[in-house]
Amino acid sequence: MRQPRVVVTGLGALTPLGLDVPSYWQGLAGGVSGADWITNFDASKFKTKFACELKGFDPRNHFDRKEARKLDPFCQYAMVSADEALKDSGLNLEQTDTNRVGVVMGSGIGGMNVFQQEVKNFVEGNGTPRFNPFFIPKMIIDLTSGNISIKHGLKGPNYSSVSACATSSNCIIDAYMLLKQGYADVMLAGGSEAAILEVGIGGFNGMKALSENNDNYKTASRPFDKTRDGFVMGEGGGCLILETYEHAMNRGATIYAELAGIGMTADAFHITAPSGEGAERSMTLALQDADLPLSSVDYINVHGTSTPVGDIAESNAIKNVFGEHAYKLNISSTKSMTGHLLGAAGAIEAIASILAMKHNVIPPTINHSVEDPDCDLNYTFNTAQEREVNVAISNTFGFGGHNATLLFKKIEA
């Protein structure tokens, strides 16, 4: 049997550049930095005092007070982005077999906010074991998918995948495979993260992973720049509505793009440092899955975290896969604007890739000033570029050596 094609029919995004997809794209195309001083907590004693926080997000605009208290911010972000994606898709759930609508939403870390607060309460309570009854349901990652399912009555496959910063790309890949195998007609897929708090910033500071460029915080996320010194933390969520091409056509849906190929590999090398070899194989597998030649790819939204080692490894991987065509590609790291959303990065960057195809505009890699001879590709520095984009790749890589690649193409009848 021929497997069904998988298409994207809805998008939802909650990002440091805007609280919905239109404002997110406006920020990307305009080269806006989402970085600012941390307001979620007093960061004055931390090595890194800035991040890309959500701006103006108020859970009371989406949940009643009682419901909001039962949800960690990471779960709120997932649910809000899913709501937008569902609305955008035009899917009428009353006229849809919800037994065949599933959810795979993930998070790299999950409920850090509630975990930190409950441990703090325990310690300050002189060890008295009094824990909030919603501690565990607020903390565990799979409650993103569970709460979305409960809210909308979605009874298809429902779970969460976790692969650090590759999490939401792996969730999208899982949804793709479930649709291909006939387990569902429609899937909600993506991820969320809310790690801008003391243990999040402190933990990544301890690893020497974050930029400490407090004097230039607005431009500290500078992928492929010689002076880069680490990533900038972001927060938010992203969700895609995926469905079979036949199902989308039968209901007259507007189709953004086809998810035509996927790649997944492991570096089997180091818990935090990328080998580059795994990224090469992941991109190659996605091209093979889509049955497309190297020359068909126009744009790569790279993982590009602004770390000294990672940016070089990914650049070399692209050159090894694409050869001479690597220099004809447009490449950009939208993390230069959004910061690194960890487990949510893959979802919002998949959305950026799809919108680049829709608008035929490559979002830039901002904050570049000093050339790095080891990074010599076209990274679309500082200003968006117009270009016909028919095929786009989105790369995400996670601690543990996880690599995930999504390949999107403009829809063909």
Contact by Cβ (8 Å): 158, 178: no
Q: What is the dihedral of CA 378, 384, 390, 391, to 10 degrees?
A: 50
Q: Which residue in this structure is represented by tokens 């982005």?
A: 81
Contact by Cβ (8 Å): 110, 191: no
Please pick, among 75, 165, 239, 375, the residue that the annotation labels catalytic: 165
- Separation between Cα atoms, residue 224 and residue 380, nearest integer Å: 11
Element (H, E) at 392: strand 391-398
End-to-end distance of the chain based on CA atoms, in angstroms? Answer: 20
Please pick, among 152, 247, 303, 402, the residue that the annotation labels catalytic: 303
E runs forming strands in 170-318:
186-193, 236-244, 257-266, 299-301
- The SS3 call for residue 4 is coil
- The SS3 call for residue 129 is coil
In the residue annotation, 75 being an active-site residue is answered as no
In the residue annotation, 359 being an active-site residue is answered as no
- Separation between Cα atoms, residue 353 and residue 387, nearest integer Å: 13
* CA dihedral over 388, 394, 395, 398, signed as positive or negative: positive
Please pick, among 340, 368, 375, 402, the residue that the annotation labels catalytic: 340
- The SS3 call for residue 36 is strand
Token pair in block for residue 98: 């919800």
Contact by Cβ (8 Å): 244, 179: yes
Cβ neighbours of 369 (radius 10 Å): 11
- The SS3 call for residue 222 is coil
Token pair in block for residue 139: 């903390």
Strands 186-193 and 101-106: parallel
Contact by Cβ (8 Å): 117, 72: no
Element (H, E) at 403: strand 402-409
In the residue annotation, 165 being an active-site residue is answered as yes
Element (H, E) at 277: helix 277-290
Residues classed as catalytic: 165, 303, 340
